[in-house]
A and B are shown apart, each in its own frame.
Chain A
Amino acid sequence: MTNRIDVHHVTRVEGHGNIVVDIDDGKIKECRFEVIETPRFFEAMLRGRSYLEASHITSRICGICSTGHSTASLRATEKALGVELSEQTRLLRKLTFHGEILDSHILHVYMLVAPDFLGVGSVIPLATSHRDVVLRALRMKKLAGDICAVVTGRHTHPIAMTVGGFTHFPTAADLKDLRDQLLACRADVEATVELCAKLPWPKFERDTEYVSLTKPDEYAFIDGEIITSDGYRFPAENYKEVTNEYLVPHSSAKLTRHKRDSLMVGALARFNNNFDQLHPKAKKAAEKLGIKPKVTNPYLNTAAQVVEIVHCVEDAITIIDQLLTAGINPEKPTPVNLEKCGADGCNGVGVVEVPRGILIHDYWIGQDGKLTGANCIIPTNQNIGNLEADMRTLVPLIMDKPLDAMRLELEMLVRAYDPCISCSVHVMKVEEKTAR
C-alpha cells in the first residue's frame, strides 16, 4: 500500500510550508517539511543603512514579532556601540515585549490551534459556533496591541523605541488605564486556561535539546545567556556554537542543530529551562494544564504558551506598578559615541526570546554609523530540523490511521510549533545536484 501525504501550504501557520510524507509498503520513503517561501534579503538591505534605521527596517521582517525584531536590533546596536540603558528604558521595553508575546500567543492559541480541537476548519466557522470564544480572543488581542501602542506609539512596528531609549513616553493616565484593563483581563486569562485544560492534546513524546535564553533574576525575554536542557551554557555572542546553521535541498530556510540531530526553541523550551522563574499564577496555570518540566510532547508547546500568557499579564501589571511608583521621566536616549567604534568598526549581538523562540541579530557597524554587515537568525529556522525529526518519529506511530486523520495530526504538529515561515527564509544558495 502506498500512502502519500502532500499538504501543500499548511494552513493556519505563518507563511508557506509543505508537509511531504511518502510511505511505500509500510516504509517511509520521504518525510520532510519544505519551506518554499522566497528569501527576503533583509541582511543585505541593512548594509549601508544608518544604525538608527536598522530597528525600523528589521521590524518589517515580521508583522507578528515586529517588537521582537526591533528589540533584538536595538540590543545588537547598543551592544556594538556600548550604549547603556536606564532602568526606565528596560522596564518600558519589557512591558511592550509582553504586549507582543501576548498578542502572538493569543492569536496562536485561539485562531490557529483551537479550530483543530473544536472541530472546525478555521476561525471563521469558529466565530459562528463559538462566538464568545472568538470575541474573548479579539478582546485579549486588542489589549495586547494597546500595550504596544501606549508604550511605542503603534500596535505593530514600534516607532518610539530608539537606540538608547525612547522618543515618546506613556502618561501615568495611559499606564493606569492599561493596568485597569490588565486587571479586567484576568477573567479572560482564567477562561483561556480553563478552555485549554480541557483540550485533548495528542499523545506523543520525543525528547530533544531545549534551547532558550536565561537570566539570573527573571524569566528571560530580553538579553541573557543561551542555555540548553542538555546542560550547555553560552554567552549570547557565541550563538553560532549552538545554531550551527546548515542547508538542505528541500528548504529555503536554514536549519540548526547543536549536539543532537536537532534542537527546539520557543515557549516549551523556555518553560522547560526557566520554569522556576515563572509568576506563581503561571505555575498554578501549568498545574491546571497538567504540565511540568520537562515536557517532551511538542504539541504542548501551545500549553506552554498559555502558561506564558498568564505570566506576561501578571508581570505587565507588576512592571506598570514599578513605572507608576518611580514616575515617568521623559529622559533623552543615552547618547551614542561612534568614535568608540574604532577604525575597523564594531560588532554587537542582540538576543531576545520572541514568541517562537530565540531571535538573534548580529551587527557590524562602521565608524560612519552605517551597517557593514548583519546576521539575523530567526526561531522558526531553529525549529525546522526538530519538527522534521518529530514527523519521522510520529509517522510510523500513526501510519495505520486513515489518510485524513494522519494528515490532520501532522498539520497539528506543524501548527504546534507556531512556525513563522516567511520570517525564517534567509539569504542562502541551494544547488541541487540531482533532480528529485
Chain B
Amino acid sequence: MPREKTLILGIGNPLMGDDGAGIEAARMLAESDLPENVTVLEAGTPGWGLAEWIRGWPSVVIVDAVCMGQKPGEWRRFNESDVRLVAGQGAISLHESDLAGGLALAQALDLLPERLTFYGIEPESTDHGMMLSPSVRATLPGLVKSILNDFAVQAEERVR
C-alpha cells in the first residue's frame, strides 16, 4: 500500500490511437489488485479542470502518451522535479489535452500534490482510430506493473 492516499489519472483521447494509452493503462489498473488507498480515474482530456481534480490528494500519478523522441512503446517514469510545467503559449484551449496548462494552473493556485509522478509512453500513431498500436500494446503492461510495483516498494519502506 502506498504511503499516502493516491490518485492515478489516465489522460488522453481513446479515439486518437495511442493518445488513449493513458486511458487503457487506467482501465488495466482498475482491473488489477489495487491497494485500498489508491483511486484510479480515466480523466480523458481534463484541461484546466485538472487543478480541481488533483486538489486535496497528497499523491498523484499521471499516465499519458508523451512524445519524448524514444522508440514507440518505450515508457519513462518522471518525478515532479524532472519536468518543467509550462502552459502552452499558442492556443490555450480547453479542447486540447493541455496537461502542462492544467498543472501550471494548479501550481499557480498552490494545489499541486506533495508527490507527483508521471508515466509517459511514446506513441507510435495518434491518428484517428480506437486501437492502440502493437508497440504500445506490447509495453503497456510493463508500465502498469511498474506503477503497482511503486506501491509495493512504498509499502515495504513503510514496514521498515
Q: Which of A15, A41, A122, A127 has the most B CB atoms < 10 Å from its CB?
A: A127
Bound Cα distance A398, B101 (Å): 33
Q: Within 8 Å CB of B47, what residues of A?
A: 63
Contact with B along A395-423 (1 / 0, CB 8 A): 00000000000000000000000001010
Complex contact B91–A128 (CB within 8 A)? no
Per DSSP, chain B at the interface is loop
**In the complex with contacts A41-B128, A123-B105, A141-B49, A11-B91 CB distance below 8 A:** yes
Q: Select one of B15, B42, B91 contacting A60, CB under 8 A.
A: B15
A134 at the binding interface (Cβ < 8 Å): yes
Complex contact B93–A138 (CB within 8 A)? no
**In the complex with contacts A13-B93, A41-B128, A142-B52, A157-B44 CB distance below 8 A:** yes
Name A40's closest neighbour in chain B (CB-CB). B128
Bound Cα distance A122, B86 (Å): 13
Complex contact A15–B48 (CB within 8 A)? no
Q: Within 8 Å CB of A41, what residues of B?
A: 128
State the total of A-B contacts with C-beta under 8 angstroms: 77
Complex contact B93–A15 (CB within 8 A)? yes
Report, as a range, how many residues of chain B touch the other chain: 20 to 34
Q: Within 8 Å CB of B6, what residues of A?
A: none
Complex contact B87–A124 (CB within 8 A)? yes
Q: Within 8 Å CB of A62, what residues of B?
A: 95
Complex contact B93–A12 (CB within 8 A)? yes
| Chain A min CB distance to B56 (Å) | 11
B109 at the binding interface (Cβ < 8 Å): yes
Complex contact A16–B91 (CB within 8 A)? yes
A111 at the binding interface (Cβ < 8 Å): yes
**In the complex with contacts A63-B45, A122-B87, A156-B44, A127-B105 CB distance below 8 A:** yes
Bound Cα distance A11, B101 (Å): 13
Name B85's closest neighbour in chain A (CB-CB). A124
Q: Within 8 Å CB of A135, what residues of B?
A: 109
Contact with B along A15-29 (1 / 0, CB 8 A): 110000000000000
A9 at the binding interface (Cβ < 8 Å): yes
Name A129's closest neighbour in chain B (CB-CB). B108
A294 at the binding interface (Cβ < 8 Å): no
Q: Select one of B13, B92, B104, B109 contacting A131, CB under 8 A.
A: B109
Contact with B along A123-145 (1 / 0, CB 8 A): 11101100100110011011001
Q: Can you give 22 contacting A-B residue pairs, CB < 8 Å?
A: A10-B91, A14-B93, A15-B91, A16-B91, A41-B128, A45-B128, A63-B13, A63-B47, A63-B94, A64-B94, A122-B87, A123-B92, A127-B109, A134-B108, A134-B109, A138-B51, A138-B55, A138-B109, A141-B49, A142-B52, A420-B95, A422-B95
A residues engaging B (CB < 8 A)? Answer: 9-16, 40-41, 45, 57, 60, 62-64, 107, 111, 122-125, 127-128, 131, 134-135, 138-139, 141-142, 145, 154-157, 420, 422
